[in-house]
A and B are shown apart, each in its own frame.
Chain A
């Protein structure tokens, strides 16, 4: 099936620094990619929808200036957590929609801000 690669899988950063997470669709072109955040023992929360070549659409309550999303090509979207704080520590997952049969997910990135 379609493969979505997310990198890095784990990252620890200092408070105040920025972290970039990459999401690549390896064997298909994804015009739309999605970024989710998962808090411990909770479901996924959609953060934003990333469309190739245009600005991302953010869900209500998600800070655009803190979570910068770039979708420069049909196979790559990036999420940058700027000026990270401990409360940004979470599991971030990207997905890309492939055809009509579902969305394929990356492996997720465990972000820990210390």
Chain B
């Protein structure tokens, strides 16, 4: 079945850039997504990228997509303590009916 993998932890200092990586298996995806989950809260759609794009920039966020390698990354510039959260990479299942999530990357930002 479909699978989405991502590293579990990332620790950075305030002001540095953070890069969270993700790999996926389903090559038929039209969109790929990044979600953010703050402690005790639901998921917030951060950004998404259409599969025919290589890069998408949205303020401090940059998404890079390498379709050949099935690799997706999220770069957060000038990381702030408020960016500390769990970040999930997600992809729709083959039926297109539900999102398949990675295990989430816990981003810890120290001041």
Residues of A at under 8 Å CB distance from B?
Answer: 1, 6, 32, 34, 42-44, 46, 49, 57, 93, 95, 100-108, 110
A43-B41 Cα distance, complex, nearest whole Å: 14
Considering only residues 23-48 of chain B, those with a C-beta below 8 Å from chain A are 30-31, 33, 35, 40-45, 48
- Within the complex, the shortest CB–CB distance from B17 to chain A, in Å, comes to 24
Interface size on B, residues (CB 8 A): 20
- The docked-state distance in angstroms from the alpha carbon of A46 to that of B1 is 14
CA A100 – CA B30 in complex, angstroms? 9
The answer, yes or no, to whether B103 is at the interface (CB within 8 Å) is yes
Docked pose: A57 CA to B95 CA in angstroms: 13
Contact A32 B97 (CB under 8 A): yes
Q: What chain B residues lie within 8 Å of A32 (beta carbons)?
A: 97
Least Cβ–Cβ distance between B6 and chain A, in angstroms: 9
Nearest-neighbour CB distance to chain A for B10, whole angstroms, equals 15
Q: Is the CB of B43 within 8 A of A43?
A: no
For A104, the closest partner residue in chain B by CB is: B45
Asked, given contacts A108-B42, A110-B40, whether A103 binds B102 with beta carbons under 8 Å apart, the answer is no
Whether the Cβ atoms of A105 and B30 lie closer than 8 Å is no
Q: Tell me if A105 and B45 are in contact (CB < 8 A).
A: yes
B33 to A43, Cβ gap below 8 A?
Answer: no
What are some 25 contacts across the A-B interface (CB < 8 A)? A1-B45, A43-B88, A43-B103, A43-B104, A44-B99, A44-B101, A46-B99, A46-B100, A49-B97, A93-B43, A100-B31, A101-B31, A101-B48, A102-B45, A102-B48, A103-B45, A103-B99, A105-B42, A105-B43, A105-B44, A105-B45, A106-B42, A107-B42, A108-B40, A110-B40
Give the Cβ gap from B30 to chain A, nearest Cβ, in Å.
7
Alpha-carbon distance between A108 and B44 when the two chains are bound, in angstroms: 11
